């Protein structure tokens, strides 16, 4: 689906999704990536509409509930030259899509996952989503939430994501820089974006966040980047400890980054050296009027005596 045509944007006034969309567009433009090589993939939810609203000529796919990461993985493996960005809500990525969220981390495929984290299922009238804390009662719930919340930062790190950050939808400049860093990172990146939903979540509002948010990079000793293998455990521990800080102060910024882990593309190349030269999306599908596929080198690698 080409997304470069005017679309009516039906997000509610004040929705944090506007900030995420702006930051994403600016990041792509500022990086100078050829927009023909960018694919934005979404699932179902208010965030799922994001590919429709881009004003840059990107490609977008609005897929099934919880399946955006699986769909994006297929796109990236078919053409590893593409910049692939997944957008999903907390319900989409951490509820029905939680299995894909974890499996993607184990692969460390080179793409970006942007989590629109508002604590509710906004599209279906504000039910409790997986990031809503137990005991909280936004105005959309008749009684307080009885489920415990998932910590997206800790889950991503323990699943194998190698770039893990948190942004804030109303700090577009900071979020844009995080998205640029995530795109440049080699491996799988998560950005957990705190995204106020003024229609259904009257607890985690803009005013509530504005009083609490601070930037990790302002801490004098904060260094989330793994530079040698011996540092991995210490950096993971610090990142997860920081992700538990949620009260009067809430940190945003990069929690953990490790480019020493091979990406999925590198693992495939080691296992099947011809793969990257014969990726499916780059094959001729027709030659001299006949259907054809040039996969002989790949088949040869798979031959058994
Ligand atoms: Fe945004 Fe919430 Fe409205 Fe959905 S319901 S568009 S998340 S404000
Ligand atoms: Mg949500």
Q: Which atom of ligand 1 is nearest to the CA of 14?
A: 8
CA 199 to ligand 1 centroid distance, Å: 6
Q: Whose C-alpha lies nearest to ligand 1, atom 6? A: 11
Q: In the prediction, which pLDDT does 1 show?
A: 46
Residue 201 CB less than 6 A away from ligand 1? no
Q: In the prediction, which pLDDT does 128 show?
A: 96
Most ligand 1 atoms within 8 A of CB, residue of 9, 10, 11, 169 to mutate? 11
Q: Whose C-alpha lies nearest to ligand 1, atom 3? A: 12
CA 126 to ligand 2 centroid distance, Å: 8
Most ligand 1 atoms within 8 A of CB, residue of 20, 118, 139, 193 to mutate? 118
pLDDT, one tens digit per residue, over 256-277 is: 999 999 999 999 989 888 888 8
Q: Which atom of ligand 1 is nearest to the CA of 195?
A: 7
Computed from CA positions of residues 285, 290, 296, 302, in that sequence, does the dihedral angle turn out positive or negative? Answer: positive
Q: In the prediction, which pLDDT does 296 show?
A: 65
Element (H, E) at 88: strand 83-89
Nearest to 87 by CA among 119, 108, 60: 60
Q: Where in 103-221 does DSSP place strands (E)?
A: 112-117, 120-121, 127-128, 163-168, 189-194, 213-215
CA 285 to ligand 1 centroid distance, Å: 42
Element (H, E) at 182: helix 172-184
Residue 122 CB less than 6 A away from ligand 1? yes
Mean pLDDT by 10 residues, the chain (305 residues): 66 97 96 94 96 86 96 94 97 97 98 98 96 98 98 98 98 98 98 98 97 98 97 98 97 98 94 83 78 67 68
Helix (H, G, I), strand (E, B) or coil at 1: coil
Q: Which DSSP string do the residues of 102-117 spell out, in sequence order?
A: HHHHHHT-S-EEEEEE
How far apart (Å, rounded) are the C-alpha atoms in residues 236 and 229? 12
Residue 200 CB less than 6 A away from ligand 1? yes
Q: Which atom of ligand 1 is nearest to the CA of 201?
A: 2
**Is the full-model pTM beyond 0.85?**
yes
Contact 102, 69 (CB under 8 A): no
First-to-final CA distance of the chain: 44
Contact 264, 110 (CB under 8 A): yes
Q: In the prediction, which pLDDT does 272 show?
A: 86
């Amino acid at each position: 689906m080409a997304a470069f045509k005017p679309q009516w944007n039906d997000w509610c006034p004040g929705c944090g999704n506007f900030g995420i969309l702006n930051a994403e567009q600016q990041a792509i433009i500022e990086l100078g990536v050829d927009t023909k090589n960018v694919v934005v993939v979404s699932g179902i939810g208010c965030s799922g509409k994001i590919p429709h609203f881009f004003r840059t000529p990107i490609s977008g796919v609005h897929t099934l509930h919880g399946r955006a990461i699986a769909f994006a993985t297929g796109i990236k493996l078919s053409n590893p030259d593409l910049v692939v960005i997944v957008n999903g809500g907390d319900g989409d990525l951490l509820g029905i899509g939680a299995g894909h969220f974890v499996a993607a981390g184990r692969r460390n495929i080179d793409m970006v996952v942007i989590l629109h984290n508002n604590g509710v299922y906004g599209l279906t009238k504000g039910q409790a989503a997986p990031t809503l804390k137990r005991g909280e009662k936004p105005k959309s719930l008749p009684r307080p939430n009885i489920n415990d919340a998932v910590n997206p930062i800790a889950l991503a790190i323990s699943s194998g994501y190698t770039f893990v950050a948190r942004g804030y939808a109303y700090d577009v400049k900071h979020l844009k820089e995080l998205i640029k860093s995530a795109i440049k990172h080699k491996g799988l990146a998560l950005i957990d974006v705190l995204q106020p939903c003024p229609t259904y979540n009257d607890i985690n509002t803009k005013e509530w966040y504005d009083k609490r948010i601070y930037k990790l990079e302002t801490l004098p000793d904060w260094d989330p980047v793994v530079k040698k293998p011996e540092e991995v455990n210490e950096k993971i521990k610090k990142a997860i400890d920081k992700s538990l800080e949620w009260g009067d102060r809430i940190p945003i910024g990069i929690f953990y980054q490790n480019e020493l882990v091979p990406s999925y593309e590198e693992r495939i190349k080691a296992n099947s050296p011809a793969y990257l030269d014969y990726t499916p999306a780059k094959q001729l599908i027709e030659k001299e009027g006949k259907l054809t596929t040039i996969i002989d080198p790949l088949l040869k690698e798979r031959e058994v005596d």
